[in-house]
């Protein structure tokens, strides 16, 4: 890391007065650092170069930076960067300063603090106070030591708490628990004025709801109090295939309307794309041959994915419970596939695919991604117009295409205009 005061020329958009601040030794203008901070996971928007990168050792370093900028007649841009998994450069700051939030995490580790503190309250139940810079995989490991875990997840766990809470945090648990932003009791936030504010739905509630899902435009999350529940030890993981989109969506809607399941998701499978992609290696070689034959006949099929958690106390009854849950579903006969896995293996399923692609040099490529809320009233038309008429007709390999079922009540606080039973297509 370079010391700012030793480098010339300094970007004129950042005043030299910043050198007098205590954080000056934690700012870098090293060309390699600047270049690395001008890329993100999407690899679509690049070369938006910041003037400097801040490596904070404590929250006060971020406060000092923002207060300094806010006090100028023309403030410079400040952007918090978690694990760099933005798609279109949202964590970049042209001619401004990027705050590398992971630097706080490194400082916590050096001080023997994992950044996640588990507690219990008679009103809240179990919860964890977690640094906004923490990766969800580290939160999971820390809470599992207490036999607990957060209830709502993203498919990929190597994202920061502050990053996903600034978006939504959606996965197959959303139909039951809502997105991650619906499972936060309280936060510490640094506002655009450099104010350090604790907020919740009862305290500074306007800021609380603005920051959750606010894309980082209303403040930087430095701590979040996350809902926890008793963690299972294992999961029964099931995938069922459909050649009829209507039956697929009706079964999804049915499964999220009943009690018993912990995770419901869906995806598209096409002949030109691998059956086992980087999201998970699920199907055995013999199953892949069987599914490949089905795809050659249909071109496109729909995969309904569901999971039921269990532990030692329910191990003897889990198979019977699962059998009852799938009764009456309209999947293709002979195309139900099951897998037993540990809770950790299931939640961290994407990681192995990522590491495999990294080893082949295939991970550091552009990753376009689109999230859409599609209401139930339009989902059939969406399938015909997009999945069939566009994606299938292109006849080109694609990345994962996911369909998450959920209900309006799980998003009502954040998206009041959604109708009664939307589906989230990603």
Catalytic: 85?
yes
Length of the chain: 426
**Structure tokens, 9:** 């020329």
Q: How do 196-200 and 184-190 pair as beta strands?
A: antiparallel
Cβ neighbors of 86 (< 8 A, separation 6 or more) are 40, 41, 42, 92, 163
Average pLDDT, integer, range 316-337: 96
d(CA 409, CA 177): 10
Each residue's pLDDT tens digit, 11-36? 656 777 777 788 988 999 899 999 98
pLDDT of the residue at 105: 81
Q: Residue 387 carries which DSSP code?
A: I
Catalytic: 265?
yes
**Structure tokens, 155:** 């498919």
Each residue's pLDDT tens digit, 226-246? 999 999 999 999 999 999 999
d(CA 425, CA 269): 14
CB 160 within 8 A of CB 135: yes
pLDDT at residue 174 greater than cutoff 80: yes
pLDDT of the residue at 268: 92
Among 40, 61, 251, 265, the active-site one is 265
Distances (CA, A) of 214 to 40, 63, 185, 219: 19, 19, 16, 8
CB 104 within 8 A of CB 133: yes
For 247, counting Cβ atoms within 10 Å of its Cβ (0-12 exposed, 13-18 middle, 19+ buried), the class is middle
pLDDT classification of 420: cutoffs 50, 70, 90: very low
pLDDT at residue 113 greater than cutoff 60: no
HEC string for 152-208 = CCCCCCCCEHHHHHCCCCCCCCHHHHCCHHHCEEEEEEECCCCCEEEEECCCCHHHH
pLDDT of the residue at 418: 54
Task: Provide the percentage of residues in the chain whose pLDDT is more than 70.
Answer: 89
Buried b (16+ CB within 10 A) or exposed e, 166-200: bbbbbbbbbbbbbbbbbbbbbbbbbbeebeebebe
Q: CA 392, 381, 399: angle at the middle one, nearest 5?
A: 35
CB 357 within 8 A of CB 278: yes
pLDDT at residue 424 greater than cutoff 70: no
- C-alpha dihedral, 213 to 218 to 222 to 225, nearest 10°: -50
pLDDT of the residue at 394: 86
Residue 85: enclosing H or E segment and its boundaries?
Answer: none
Each residue's pLDDT tens digit, 181-213? 999 999 999 999 999 999 999 999 999 999 999
State the chain's mean pLDDT as an integer: 88
Among 40, 61, 85, 138, the active-site one is 85
The least confident of 161-165, 284-288, 312-316 is 284-288
Each residue's pLDDT tens digit, 244-257? 999 999 999 999 99
pLDDT classification of 124: cutoffs 50, 70, 90: very high
Cβ neighbors of 164 (< 8 A, separation 6 or more) are 136, 154, 180
In angstroms, the first-to-last Cα distance of the chain is 39
Among 61, 138, 155, 253, the active-site one is 155
pLDDT of the residue at 5: 34
Q: Could you list the beta-strand ranges (E) of 281-359.
A: 300-310, 336-342
Which of helix, strand or coil describes residue 267?
strand
Each residue's pLDDT tens digit, 385-417? 999 999 888 887 778 889 999 887 777 666 655
Each residue's pLDDT tens digit, 375-388? 888 999 999 999 99
Q: 425 versus 218: which is more confidently predicted?
A: 218
pLDDT of the residue at 409: 75
How many other CB atoms sit within 10 Å of the CB of residue 2?
14
pTM of the model: 0.90
pLDDT of the residue at 187: 98
d(CA 385, CA 317): 43
d(CA 169, CA 202): 22
Q: Residue 367 carries which DSSP code?
A: -
Q: 271 versus 318: which is more confidently predicted?
A: 318
Each residue's pLDDT tens digit, 359-372? 888 888 888 888 88
Average pLDDT, integer, range 109-117: 62
pLDDT of the residue at 8: 41
How many other CB atoms sit within 10 Å of the CB of residue 371?
13
Catalytic: 320?
no
Average pLDDT, integer, range 42-64: 92
d(CA 257, CA 251): 10
């Amino acid at each position: 890391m370079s010391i700012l005061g030793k480098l010339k020329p300094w970007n004129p958009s950042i005043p030299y007065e910043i050198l007098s601040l205590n954080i000056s030794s934690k700012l870098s203008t090293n060309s390699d650092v600047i270049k690395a901070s001008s890329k993100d996971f999407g690899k679509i928007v690049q070369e938006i170069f910041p003037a400097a990168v801040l490596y904070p050792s404590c929250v006060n370093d971020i406060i000092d930076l923002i207060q300094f900028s806010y006090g100028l007649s023309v403030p410079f841009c400040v952007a918090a960067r978690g694990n760099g998994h933005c798609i279109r450069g949202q964590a970049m700051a042209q001619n401004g300063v990027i705050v590398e939030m992971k630097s706080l995490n490194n400082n916590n580790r050096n001080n023997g603090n994992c950044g996640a503190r588990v507690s219990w309250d008679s009103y809240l139940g179990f919860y964890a106070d977690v640094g906004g810079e923490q990766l969800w995989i580290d939160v999971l490991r820390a809470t599992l030591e207490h036999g607990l875990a957060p209830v709502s997840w993203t498919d990929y766990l190597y994202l920061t708490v502050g990053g996903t809470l600034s978006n939504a945090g959606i996965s197959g648990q959303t139909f039951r628990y809502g997105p991650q932003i619906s499972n936060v009791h309280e936060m510490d936030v640094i506002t655009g004025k450099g104010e350090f504010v604790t907020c919740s739905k009862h305290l500074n509630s306007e800021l609380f709801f603005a920051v959750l899902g606010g894309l980082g435009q209303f403040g930087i999350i430095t701590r979040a109090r996350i809902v926890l529940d008793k963690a299972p030890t294992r999961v029964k993981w099931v995938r069922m295939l459909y050649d009829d989109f209507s039956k697929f969506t009706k079964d999804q809607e049915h499964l999220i309307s009943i009690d018993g399941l912990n995770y419901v998701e869906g995806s598209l499978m096409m002949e030109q794309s691998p059956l086992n992609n980087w999201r998970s290696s699920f199907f055995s070689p013999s199953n892949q041959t069987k599914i490949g034959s089905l795809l050659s006949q249909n071109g496109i099929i729909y995969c309904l994915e569901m999971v039921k958690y269990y532990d030692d106390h329910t191990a003897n009854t889990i198979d019977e419970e699962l059998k009852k849950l799938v009764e009456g579903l309209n999947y293709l006969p002979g195309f139900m596939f099951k897998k037993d896995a540990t809770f950790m293996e299931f939640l961290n399923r994407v990681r192995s695919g990522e590491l495999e692609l990294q080893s082949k040099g295939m991970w550091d490529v552009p990753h376009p991604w689109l999230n859409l809320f599609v209401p139930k009233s339009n989902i059939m038309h969406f399938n015909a117009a997009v999945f069939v008429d566009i994606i299938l007709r292109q006849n080109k390999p694609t990345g994962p295409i996911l369909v998450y079922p959920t209900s309006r009540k799980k998003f009502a606080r954040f998206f009041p205009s959604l109708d009664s039973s939307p589906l989230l297509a990603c």
